[in-house]
Amino acid sequence: MSDVLFPALSEKQPDSEGVLSAWFVTDGETVREDQLTAEVQVDKVSAEVPAPQAGVITLLVKEDETVVQGTPIARIT
Amino acid sequence: MTTTDAPVAPELRGSHRLTTAKAMVEAIELEMRRDPSVFYIGEDVGAYGGIFSSTTGLLDTFGPQRVIDTPISETAFIGLAIGAAVEGLRPIAELMFADFMGVCLDQIYNHMAKIHFESGGNVKVPMVLTTAVGGGYSDAAQHSQCLWGTFAHLPGMKVVIPSNPYDAKGLMTAAIRDDNPVVYMFHKGVMGLPWMAKNPRTLAEVPEGDYEVPIGKAAVAREGGDVTVVTLSLSVHHALDVAEKLDGSVSVEILDLRSLVPLDREAILASVAKTGRLVVVDEDYQSFGLSGEVAATVTDVDPGLLRAPVVRVANPDTPIPYAHALEYAILPRQDRIETAIHRVTRA
């Protein structure tokens, strides 16, 4: 099992908040390792979030929700 | 006439959710893997990945020999691409904004578009000119125009304009494989970019692997019987919003042109023959452009198909303002489309 974390886009301010812009997978979907799961954004910088391992993904955050960097946004089992 | 809602056997090929931008990139990546003569050239298309994410990740995959950042000289690098194309390569050249056509138009319409004609058909120019179009995000008069009517007016270029991820991928594949110069115009508002206004239709299932959307074929984005809305690009989404709102009172058919050159006149005529009423929604300038051409497509053949005068919803021939309220007042958005539909159906 591994958590999918909101990536650190701002190194200077580790507690920066960002937005989960889009999910490319649905809750309960089976994903491959490195498969694109989400796109996130801090200010106007966006980043893609690949799956850290293969498995079944459980989404923990909704689209357009604001979270702090490093927060788990999904879990893969 | 074809429909976009039935991708080729997705259950057999597998599919995945992509934004329009990622679908466009996936088509380019697949063609670059398949054909070593394909390369991408333009401003900020390398490390930056395209300012509207048209090339994200391509530099990492293919390196700087095939994903080429250029200085700010559109005449030079579009001219370079034309030269490469006539010598047998398949370049994709990106004009960052269609608004910048003015500084390189000689290369585009006197060279790219005419070499095939002037050589008596002996020299081909198999290139794609990609360019970002459209407004709605306060980028003002020099970065918000559509100008597709101008490209389509000048003979010698095919012009394709996707509105969704499926078409973005399939039209890009078709454009790269076409032996003619193809202008591929992507509206920033359909790309699914996280920093633009959210639009749920810009994220959709796209088949894995390569497929083509035929150039010159429109698609019925929504079937209806009371009125035909002929439109393209971001305006398809606005028209769909209105059609969903009016569902139950007015049955709206929406035709997504997808290509301007060649124009699918048969699809326009078939839909108007069914509904007898026509609204044309075009984010480009109203006069001397697409909306008049679509209306003439009907009246040239049979004005008797129309039970009411054609209503056009377009930019009222004004530069695009920076101020948000002023910009939204001139763009063909949901409020103006709904008013137009009521006008033709009550006529």
Q: What is the mean pLDDT of residues A43-59?
A: 90
The reply to whether B183 falls in a domain is yes
**pLDDT score recorded for residue A44:** 73
Q: What is the mean pLDDT of residues B223-234?
A: 98
Same domain, B135 and B241: no
Same domain, B154 and B227: no
The reply to whether B4 falls in a domain is no
Please return the burial class of A31, using the count of CB atoms within 10 Å of its CB with bins 0-12, 13-18 and 19+.
buried
- How far B293 CA sits from the closest chain A CA (Å)? 38
When pLDDT is cut at 50, 70 and 90, the band that residue B3 belongs to is low
Q: What is the mean pLDDT of residues A42-52?
A: 86
**pLDDT score recorded for residue B7:** 52
What is the predicted ipTM? Answer: 0.76
Q: Do B195 and A44 touch (CB under 8 A)?
A: yes
Distance of CA B224 to CAs B53, B209, B221, B263, Å?
A: 35, 32, 10, 21
CB B252 within 8 A of CB B224: yes
Question: Domain end: B148, B175, B207, which one?
Answer: B207
The reply to whether B7 falls in a domain is no
Same domain, B112 and B243: no
**pLDDT score recorded for residue B13:** 62
Residues of B in contact with A22 (CB under 8 A): 19, 192, 194, 203
Q: Cα angle vertex B170, ends B165, B173, to 5°?
A: 125
Same domain, B253 and B203: no
Measured CA to CA, the distance from residue B116 to residue B102 in angstroms comes to 22
Same domain, B133 and B156: yes
Percent above pLDDT 90 for chain A: 66
For residue range B66-92, list pLDDT tens digits in order: 999 999 999 999 999 999 999 999 999
**pLDDT score recorded for residue B11:** 47
Rg (CA), chain A: 12
- How far B18 CA sits from the closest chain A CA (Å)? 7
The reply to whether B329 falls in a domain is yes
Q: What is the mean pLDDT of residues B133-142?
A: 96
Write out the DSSP string of B202-248: GEEEEESS---PPTT--EEEE--SSEEEEE-THHHHHHHHHHHHHTT
Mean pLDDT over all residues of chain B? 95
Question: Domain end: B177, B207, B237, which one?
Answer: B207
For residue range B159-177, list pLDDT tens digits in order: 999 999 999 999 999 999 9
**pLDDT score recorded for residue B299:** 98
Measured CA to CA, the distance from residue B218 to residue B228 in angstroms comes to 13
**pLDDT score recorded for residue B10:** 44
Distance of CA B55 to CAs A1, B3, B11, Å?
A: 33, 27, 28
The reply to whether B280 falls in a domain is yes
Same domain, B90 and B182: yes
Same domain, B35 and B63: yes
Is the predicted pLDDT of residue B197 greater than 90, yes or no?
no
Measured CA to CA, the distance from residue B323 to residue B136 in angstroms comes to 10
**pLDDT score recorded for residue B4:** 54
User: Can you give the CATH number for the domain in which B176 is found?
Assistant: 3.40.50.970
Nearest to B291 by CA among B309, B305, B307, B273: B309
Residues of A in contact with B192 (CB under 8 A): 22
Same domain, B157 and B185: yes
Which CATH number is correct for A2-76, 2.60.120.10, 3.40.1170.60, 2.40.50.100, 3.40.50.10490?
A: 2.40.50.100
Q: What is the mean pLDDT of residues B133-150?
A: 97
For residue range B11-20, list pLDDT tens digits in order: 456 888 999 9
Same domain, B303 and B156: no
- pTM given for the model: 0.92
Q: Do B194 and A25 touch (CB under 8 A)?
A: no
Is the predicted pLDDT of residue B238 greater than 70, yes or no?
yes
Is the predicted pLDDT of residue B337 greater than 60, yes or no?
yes
Same domain, B237 and B156: no
Residue-range domain boundaries for chain A: 2-76
Is the predicted pLDDT of residue B220 greater than 60, yes or no?
yes
Containing domain of residue B77, as a range?
15-207
The reply to whether B8 falls in a domain is no
**pLDDT score recorded for residue A11:** 78
User: Can you give the CATH number for the domain in which B266 is found?
Assistant: 3.40.50.920
Q: Do A41 and B195 touch (CB under 8 A)?
A: yes
Closest Cβ–Cβ partner in A22, A25, A26 for B194: A22
Domain count, chain B: 2
Same domain, B225 and B265: yes
Q: Which of A10-14, A34-38, B90-94 tops mean pLDDT?
A: B90-94
A15-29, B255-269, B291-305: the lowest-pLDDT one: A15-29
Query: How do strand A30-31 and strand A55-59 relate by DSSP bridges?
Result: antiparallel
The reply to whether B1 falls in a domain is no
Same domain, B228 and B300: yes
Residues of B in contact with A36 (CB under 8 A): 16, 22
Q: Do B17 and A44 touch (CB under 8 A)?
A: no
The reply to whether B102 falls in a domain is yes
B116 belongs to the catalytic site: no
**pLDDT score recorded for residue B9:** 47
What crossing angle do the helices spanning B234-246 and B334-346 adopt, rounded to 10°? 60
